[in-house]
Amino acid sequence: MSAQETINVIAAGLGLGIKAYESARRIEAAGYTVPNLLEFENRIVKLHRLPRKTASPSGSGGSPAQLPTDYAGHA
């Protein structure tokens, strides 16, 4: 990867981060709770530890785990 390509990748990543930050501020302004990165990671870990429903006899699989009721500030 050339130096210019590296700079372009970094610039794109920073632009994406800025857009995510701006979106989080708008969501908070609308009255919702936006978790910080550590809290978000902890919630994801908890979600993956929730027991899943067993697969149905038809083999179609179970339902995904439910989100906590406080996720993103609302049910």
Region 8-12: mean pLDDT is 96
CA distance 65 to 29: 29
Query: How would you class 31 by CB atoms within 10 Å of its CB: exposed for 0-12, middle for 13-18, buried for 19 or more?
Result: exposed
Residue 37's domain comprises 1-49
What is the count of structural domains for the chain?
Answer: 1
- CA atoms within 13 A of residue 13's CA, in its CB half-sphere: 6
pLDDT-derived band at 75 (thresholds 50, 70, 90) equals very low
Region 24-41: mean pLDDT is 90
Q: Is residue 54 a part of any domain in this protein?
A: no
The three-point CA angle 58-67-71 to 5° equals 165
Helix, strand, coil tally for the chain in percent (to 5): 55, 0, 45
pLDDT-derived band at 55 (thresholds 50, 70, 90) equals low
Q: Is residue 45 a part of any domain in this protein?
A: yes
Selected residue with higher pLDDT from 14 and 47: 14
Region 19-47: mean pLDDT is 90
Q: Is residue 26 a part of any domain in this protein?
A: yes
pLDDT-derived band at 59 (thresholds 50, 70, 90) equals low
